[in-house]
Structure 1
Amino acid sequence: MARRRFKLFRGLRLQYNLLVRVVVLGVVGWLGYNLYEASLKPVRVGIFFPTSGPAALEGRVARDSVLLALKELENSVGLLHRPVDVITVNPGLQADMRIAQMRSLLEEEGADVVFACLTAACLRELEPVANASNGLIVYPFADIGLDGGSHTMTTGSLPNQLLLPPMGWAAERFGKRFYLVASDSLYGRVASEVVRHEVKRLEGEVVGEIFLDQDFSDGTNAANELLRAAPDVVLNVVVGDANVALYKALHAAGAGNGQIPTLFFNNAGRLGFESIGWEAVAGNFSVSFYDADNRTEVNRQFIKAFKRQFGNSAMPGPWSESAYASVMVWASAVKRARSTNATAVEAQIEGTVVEVPSGRLEIARGSHYPVRQPLVAEISSSGVIATVWRAETAVEPHNNAIAMPRADWDRFLDDLYRSWGDNWEKPGR
């Protein structure tokens, strides 16, 4: 009787083990199939930069550099062994159109990430869309900060990194009478407040400022006003074609060759200066975070790829490098997350460290902004842009309370938004 019971139990155990094996093999097969299916699913990448209008040059630079980085990524290590699908959108002129386009990219097209915007205003109007759609926007350029940065990542800079250190250098070299030339934009208005606070700290003087619309085309009056003010140095935070008219007029008035030196903060590098004319910008200075002459292996490979893509005479500038680097930082966070899901990637952004063409780029702890080391390069009439100064150390991003308390900034931004008809851009821009 005992022997029969033993045989019965042994038979049941064998059937149980067989069932377990079948279930395990089924689960493994199901997981394997799903992993295989996921590996075939493309990574959907949106590109959202203007390629027409006043900022078309900067937009094309950003678009082409992101595309180059994605191409290099696919040709080298790849991204989670998945192909990459790119959806390119030329943003509309009106805010409501841009919001609808971004919503379509994230919700209908299923973009895992969108590399977007040339301005802080664009980013600010689209961030709520990314929040609502649980998407991710990567912004490669200068931002104002003053917000949480939820569902966004910036690889550019904040005002305390881009504006302040070079202003100290300029005050020592040229003097403390400053003149601000800015786009009449969210960033331009914030920059004005930051500049005024810093000039006061430097015991200097703001002798004038002018805000230029994107359709600004006759630089004569603005040039004459600037010359009458006789500043020691001009701080220029203009984005777009407005610089062309102003600096051609200044050159025509005999103010070329750096007689009144300008620090260009938001510039596309060689392409931007070529559009103005080398003679008109010679003797002035480019402020950025990228020295194309640095000899790191990452930069060497970047320049090699850039020339292969755009021609042997082409050289990348600050906007090219920043857009290219933004893809590298995002891809690093994707690999750490082992997913392209926006929430998973966002959780990995803080503390990301990547070797990019400009050097070591680290996203600061507690933020979605990078640590940055600004430099100043002198522009020659022959097109050479040579670094003459670099900050001694990298600068942490200060998201709040530069120039005034956060509560005052909130009131300032709210007043500006309301004065522009509940919009982050001035009406008519």
Structure 2
Amino acid sequence: MSTPSAVRLQRSRRSSRPPAIVTAAAALLALGLAACGGEDSGAGGGGTYKIGIFAPTTGFAASDGKSAVNSAKLAVEKVNAAGGVQGKELKLVVYDDASKPDQAATIAQKLVRQDNVDIAVSGSYSAQTRAAAPIFARSNKVMIAAYAVDPEITQVGEQIWRIGELASVQGKVAGKLALDNLKGKKVAILYVDNDFGTGLTKAFRDYVKQNGGQIVSDSKYPLEEKDFRTVLGGIKAKSPDVLYAPGYYNNAADIANQAAELGLKAQIVGVEGYDSPKLIDLAGKNAEGIIFTTELDRDSSNPAVKDFLSGYEKKTGVKADAVGAETYDAVLLAAEALKRAGGADAKKLVEGLKEVKALEGSVTGITGFSPQRNGIREGLAQVVKGGDFHRYATFRDPSLITPP
């Protein structure tokens, strides 16, 4: 697989993400996965709870799949080291969906009928998760979506839950950030033309309009776009205070580099798709000062967050990202559900999940779930400072952060 400098494939968050930084073969080697087969991860015998997980571990999105699966394994190791759940070890059954919805649907059938997993986790994007969710719901199996943002996913049944933050929440938080924290009066918008970018932008646009901000430019770009100079030149002529640019880390790097080249001084505000060390690698000094909404707080004093960050880097040799954090929490939530249910009965699992108010060990700060089973947490913005990600602001207003 080519690097972002050679091929610019993005995700619709997450329906397609920036291209994998490793080759498909390297991703397979690192994860020890068969391209389309399932992998049991964990000790067998003695009684186990099986957690099925599907993620894109090959193809253009393998970087997200690698992060998701490695983080899931880290969570399983954490739970098992503490004695497991009711004395039983957790065991992962891993499949590669290759970012294909039809493959995700087939995997869901296998996890239910062939592997007979006790609970499932989606470590994949919206399209794949949306394809799999009804199968789990009809089979009366609980599935937890780690980071897919499509609101329809949890609407198929009470068995389907979500860790990640909806686009509608992130967009409003970004609007608050732009108008209040940054004191922006004139705002420009430049967003990737897919469901991820459109959903974030709608929420942001509505918030800005409803709260007295002026939108001076509102443009979109196709997934494969690399050259933003013309549109950035037009934006520069409008002299905005803030440029809201939903997209992915490779888009963000191009925008930051070309904005610097043109002398555009607007504060760039991004989204969780920026949450990758590759943003800093690709944009260098031009990444400094970029602010983006996300779910992983690198400056948290929470020991669970510190353990995750250090444990992930030790395990993989690279720094953790939001995809990994959300998948880690999804596995912890699965373990908590099994613990509260006293087993794998779906009705009891759902009742147990309804009781979760603060997920113990959560690295994304889950404090409960909405009526539509979407995770609730403080809003968060990170800033690139000194070549790393740091906390910029948190948001606690329930009208901003509470999902449907």
TM-score (norm. length: structure 2): 0.77
Q: Residues 152, 235 of structure 1: CA spacing in aligned structure 2 closer, same or farther, 3 A cutoff?
A: farther
- Does residue 1:204 correspond to 2:213, yes or no? yes
Question: Does the Cα contact within 8 Å between 1:136 and 1:152 map onto a contact in 2?
Answer: yes
Q: Which moved more, 1:369-378 or 1:159-168?
A: 159-168
Give the residue type in structure 1 aligned to 2:186: R
- Does residue 1:155 correspond to 2:169, yes or no? no
**Map of 1:9-48 to 2, 5 A cutoff?**
40-48=46-54
- 1:68 Cα shift? 1.0
- Does residue 1:366 correspond to 2:371, yes or no? yes
Q: Residues 175, 113 of structure 1: CA spacing in aligned structure 2 closer, same or farther, 3 A cutoff?
A: same
Q: Matched residues in 2 for 1:108 and 1:268: separation? A: 37
- 1:237 Cα shift? 2.9
Q: Residues 358, 149 of structure 1: CA spacing in aligned structure 2 closer, same or farther, 3 A cutoff?
A: farther
Q: Percent identity?
A: 16
| Residue in 1 that maps onto 2:294 | 288
**Map of 1:233-248 to 2, 5 A cutoff?**
233-239=242-248, 241-248=250-257
Output one character per residue of 1:377-396: Cα deviation in whole Å (capped at 9) or x when no partner: 2212x323222322145665
Q: Which has the larger radius of gyration?
A: 1
SS in 2 for 1:81: coil
Question: Does the Cα contact within 8 Å between 1:247 and 1:280 map onto a contact in 2?
Answer: yes
Q: Matched residues in 2 for 1:228 and 1:101: separation? A: 50
Question: Does the Cα contact within 8 Å between 1:39 and 1:82 map onto a contact in 2?
Answer: no
| Residue in 2 that maps onto 1:262 | 268
Q: Residues 297, 85 of structure 1: CA spacing in aligned structure 2 closer, same or farther, 3 A cutoff?
A: closer
| Residue in 2 that maps onto 1:348 | 352
Q: Matched residues in 2 for 1:212 and 1:346: separation? A: 41
- Does residue 1:57 correspond to 2:63, yes or no? yes
Q: Matched residues in 1 for 2:98 and 2:364: separation? A: 34
Give the residue type in structure 1 aligned to 2:287: V
| Residue in 2 that maps onto 1:33 | none
Question: Does the Cα contact within 8 Å between 2:184 and 2:241 map onto a contact in 1?
Answer: yes
| Residue in 1 that maps onto 2:7 | none
- 1:201 Cα shift? 0.5
The equivalent position to 1:336 in structure 2, one of 340, 352, 359, is 340
Number of equivalenced pairs = 356
| Residue in 2 that maps onto 1:376 | 381
**Map of 1:403-414 to 2, 5 A cutoff?**
none
Q: Which moved more, 1:357-366 or 1:97-106?
A: 357-366
Give the residue type in structure 2 aligned to 1:158: L
| Residue in 2 that maps onto 1:92 | 98
- 1:335 Cα shift? 0.2
- 1:332 Cα shift? 1.0
Output one character per residue of 1:157-180: Cα deviation in whole Å (capped at 9) or x when no partner: 124432213312311324233333
The equivalent position to 2:177 in structure 1, one of 144, 165, 169, is 169
- Does residue 1:398 correspond to 2:400, yes or no? no
Q: Residues 359, 64 of structure 1: CA spacing in aligned structure 2 closer, same or farther, 3 A cutoff?
A: closer
- 1:142 Cα shift? 5.6
Output one character per residue of 1:55-101: Cα deviation in whole Å (capped at 9) or x when no partner: 33333222221121112111223123223332322223443233223
Q: Residues 368, 392 of structure 1: CA spacing in aligned structure 2 closer, same or farther, 3 A cutoff?
A: closer
Q: Residues 72, 287 of structure 1: CA spacing in aligned structure 2 closer, same or farther, 3 A cutoff?
A: same
Q: Matched residues in 2 for 1:377 and 1:393: separation? A: 18
- Does residue 1:134 correspond to 2:140, yes or no? yes
- 1:41 Cα shift? 4.2
Q: Matched residues in 2 for 1:391 and 1:287: separation? A: 10
Give the superposed CA RMSD: 3.0
Q: Residues 74, 397 of structure 1: CA spacing in aligned structure 2 closer, same or farther, 3 A cutoff?
A: same
TM-score (norm. length: structure 1): 0.73
| Residue in 2 that maps onto 1:10 | none
- 1:218 Cα shift? 4.2
Question: Does the Cα contact within 8 Å between 2:147 and 2:162 map onto a contact in 1?
Answer: yes
- Does residue 1:279 correspond to 2:285, yes or no? yes
Output one character per residue of 1:196-252: Cα deviation in whole Å (capped at 9) or x when no partner: 221211122333344444444444455445445543222233246444444443344
Q: Matched residues in 2 for 1:303 and 1:145: separation? A: 29
| Residue in 2 that maps onto 1:79 | 85
